Amino acid sequence: MGMFEMSEDQVAEWRRQCLDLVASRVNGEEVLAAAGFRQGGASANYVASKAQLGGAVYAGIKMLRKKKAGGLPDKVMLAATPEKLYAFKLSVGRSYKLGDEVGLWERAGLKVSSDASGGMTSLTIESPTDGDKATLVGISVKDDPVSLELIDVLRGAAPAEAEA
């Protein structure tokens, strides 16, 4: 197993932790899948900082990243139920902590797409009724099975079976 890869046990544990984090926040609905996501474009921030291009360039990149993410915070936990998609602010430290709800959409009206490029799969969520559009990538530096599962659920696939 290479660096940044997860064993089956780690995937099962991460899936359980994500589901447990959101369970009490979705108004008693069944959670089909949950995973951490972040704004894309982290490499642009890295290049700007290493090239010492100045605060104005860095701030501009940050603004563009937030716009592409539909105004969502840098890190979010997405939770899909049969009827809705929730987004909660996510704090990352020794453990993950959910903050306020920052997005809620009816799944029936959403247009969901994904694009794999540069080692990461991006998720684009569009709400024609609200005019919202957000593009995010998984929380890790490489695709992980838990975020890919949430993308699959949003695109219509059945969720993975929870292990007993």
Query: Could you report the per-residue pLDDT of 114-149, keeping only the tens digit for each?
Result: 988 777 898 888 888 777 788 888 888 788 899 999
Has residue 54 been placed in a domain? no
At 114, which helix (H) or strand (E)?
Answer: strand 111-117
Domain with residue 93: its CATH number is 2.30.29.30
Sheet holding 111-117, edge to edge: 96-106, 84-92, 75-80, 33-39, 132-138, 120-127, 111-117
Q: Tell me how far apart the alpha carbons of residues 57 and 44 are, in angstroms, rounded to a whole number.
A: 10
Which portions of the chain are predicted below pLDDT 50? 1-3, 41-48, 57-58, 61-62, 64-69, 163-164
Has residue 46 been placed in a domain? no
Structural domain range at position 134: 8-15+30-40+69-154
CB-count exposure of residue 129 (10 Å: 0-12, 13-18, 19+): exposed
pLDDT per residue as tens digits for the range 71-82 = 688 899 999 999
pLDDT at 77: 95
pTM: 0.78
* Total domain count, the chain: 1
Has residue 51 been placed in a domain? no
Q: Tell me how far apart the alpha carbons of residues 77 and 85 are, in angstroms, rounded to a whole number.
A: 10
From 3, 14, 9, select the one nearest 148 (Cα to Cα): 14
From 49, 64, 59, select the one nearest 135 (Cα to Cα): 64
Q: Which two tokens stand for residue 28?
A: 């008693």
At 153, which helix (H) or strand (E)?
Answer: helix 145-154
Length of the chain equals 164
**Residue linked to tokens 């959409």:** 105
From 17, 23, 159, 26, select the one nearest 103 (Cα to Cα): 26
Has residue 1 been placed in a domain? no
Query: Mapping DSSP to helix (H, G, I), strand (E, B) and coil, where does residue 18 land?
Result: helix
Has residue 125 been placed in a domain? yes
